Amino acid sequence: MKAVKFGGTSMSTIESIERVKSIITSDRERRFVVVSAPGKADGYPKVTDMLIAVADKEPELRAEAFLPVMRRFEELCGGLLANKDYLRQDFEQIIEKLPTASADYIISRGEYLCAKLLAAVLGYDFVDACELIKFRDGVFDDDYTQSVCKLALSGYKRAVIPGFYGSDASGDIVTFTRGGSDVSGAIVARAVNASLYENFTDVDGFMTCDPRIAPHATIIDVLTYKELRELAYMGANVLHPDSIFPVRRANIPIHILNTFNPDSEGTKIVPTEAFLNGEYKRKNKRPITAIAGKKDFFSLHIDKSMMNAEVGFARRVLNCFEKLNIPIEHIPSGIDSMTVVFSAVDGKTANELVEAVQKEVNPDHISLSTDLALIAIVGHGMVSRPGTAARAISRLSNADINLRMIDQGASEINIILGVSNDDFERALKALNGEFEV
């Protein structure tokens, strides 16, 4: 049995929802369906953005601001159910609550209404996500959710479930971060023990490189969970980065498919072990699966003679980051030097950090660079194969690009290169030429 998720573009017009219906009904295994709120279409912005604007209004002005959302759903109901008033009672309930409702409640109504609509179109049951997905103190409660969700969904043969939100112990709605319906889909897939989590979106899958920078980039047919984590972290955002965890635990593959291009084979994201033992094969046998990168990192460089002999040095440096609540990305280091790479922070926090580290470890030299871009070269094929880093570095040097940092984890599935923000696009192009990903 399959769990299926459709993104906002798939749910945005009468025609696209008809397409969704035919995709679902063409495979009897597609029994549990999770949906996003309708995306941009017909001159309307994304429903979620419309609802964020509603939530930002003064309480007495919210009902009026909600009218365009209502109109949009009425148009969809009129075209798909021949009854534009199908959601009337829901609209009335929402409008009544608007003046006192929380932002999360208001913002989640796009998914709620969209799932109700699709359930009626398909003749499936509607199951509200607030009965299935549980948060505690604002944080997703994985274990509790699994037990609640498993039990609740075992009572249904076929159901449509709104993505993006759940509820806390007092029954209040809590949303995931933007794009969170991907996470809801993964949670449902695990709860119903699906054999596959199909994620229908508006692109053909993950690409080997950003096609705006590297025009010869192609779709990756098979990607492992581990490779996906590396790429998602670097901003390859086809899928919400947190959506891997629930399915990875249950070894359920994810299949990224394009609602609007039925001929595309998409990208299958598979358990790493299953790929390594040959259960899944990639057509392309190149050592590099993909190259991705992101700008705007900072790096704090610290020099101190005899640093290696000073027990607790690294801990004291890292404590300064922890106190300022700055997550750390990479820590390349030498005998007498240590560099800590982190995502850009505001100027005040950066100054506080430098002062704190200065005071804590009294370095010989400390400097902060603020324009670092990171590029990840990712692929299981690199493991135990000599030469990839050498080829990457010589490519950069041939293109006259200064390499500011290099970091390779012991897993050998990624090499991280740091270059100046200004060199980022040129570096990606140069590397793409070398590896022809």
* Interacting residue ranges for ligand ASP, rule: CB under 6 A: 8, 36-37, 46, 48, 110, 163-164, 178-181
Cβ atoms of 376 and 230 closer than 8 Å: yes
- 182 or 227: whose CB is closer to ligand ASP? 182
Question: Smallest distance from the beta carbon of 329 to ligand ASP, in angstroms?
Answer: 24
What are the helix (H) ranges across 241-378?
244-249, 272-276, 313-323, 347-361
Pick between residue 12 and residue 339 the one whose CB is nearest to ligand ASP: 12
Residue 295 corresponds to which tokens in the numbers above?
A: 């700008």
Q: How far is the CB of 295 from ligand ASP (least distance, A)?
A: 23
Identity of the residue, 40 or 315, whose beta carbon is nearer to ligand ASP in the bound complex? 40
Query: What is the nearest approach in angstroms of ligand ASP to the Cβ of residue 229?
Result: 19
Q: Please state the closest distance from residue 183 (CB atom) to ligand ASP, in A.
A: 8
Amino acid identity, position 116: K
Six token digits for residue 347: 């100027």
Q: Which letter, b or e, does each residue of 403-427 get, where b requires 16 or more Cβ atoms within 10 Å of its Cβ?
A: bbbebbeeeebbbbbbbbeebbbeb
As measured in angstroms, the least distance from the Cβ of 154 to ligand ASP is: 25
> Six-digit token pair at 59?
């309480």
Of 163 and 418, nearer to ligand ASP (C-beta) is 163
Closer to ligand ASP at the Cβ: 102 or 333?
A: 102
Report d(CA 314, CA 171) in Å as an integer: 44
Minimum CB distance to ligand ASP, residue 276 (Å): 31
Q: How far apart (Å, rounded) are the C-alpha atoms in residues 168 and 175? A: 10
The smaller minimum CB distance to ligand ASP, of residues 6 and 321, is found at: 6
Give the contacts of 232 (CB within 8 A, at least 6 positions apart): 239, 241, 244
Pairing of strands 222-224, 267-270: parallel
Q: Which is nearer to ligand ASP, 206 or 313 (CB)?
A: 206
CA distance 294 to 419: 10
Cβ-based burial of 171 (10 A; exposed 0-12, middle 13-18, buried ≥19): exposed
End-to-end CA distance of the chain: 34
Residue 200 beta carbon to ligand ASP: minimum distance, rounded to whole angstroms: 12
What is the SS3 assignment for 43? coil
CB atoms near residue 81 (< 10 Å) = 14
**Distances in Å between the alpha carbon of 349 and those of 189, 208, 331, 356, 359?**
41, 36, 19, 10, 15
Give the β-pairing of 337-343 and 405-408.
unpaired
**Taking the complex as a whole, how short is the minimal distance between the CB of residue 167 and ligand ASP, in angstroms?**
16
In terms of CB distance, is 180 or 266 closer to ligand ASP? 180
Task: Indicate the residue among 178 and 323 with the shorter CB distance to ligand ASP.
Answer: 178
Tell me the torsion sign for CA atoms 24, 27, 31, 32. negative
**Can you tell me the distance from the alpha carbon of 308 to that of 305, in angstroms, rounded to the nearest whole number?**
8
Running DSSP on this structure, what letter comes out for residue 423? G
CB of 6 to ligand ASP, least distance (A): 10
Nearer to ligand ASP, 186 or 338 (CB): 186
Closest separation between CB of residue 376 and ligand ASP, Å?
25
Per-residue CA distances from 92 to 71, 89, 295 (Å): 13, 5, 46
User: How far is the C-alpha of 261 from the C-alpha of 277, rounded, in Å?
Assistant: 31
Per DSSP, the three-state class of 73 is helix
Q: Residue 206 or residue 297: which is nearer to ligand ASP going by CB?
A: 206
- CB 242, min distance to ligand ASP, A: 11
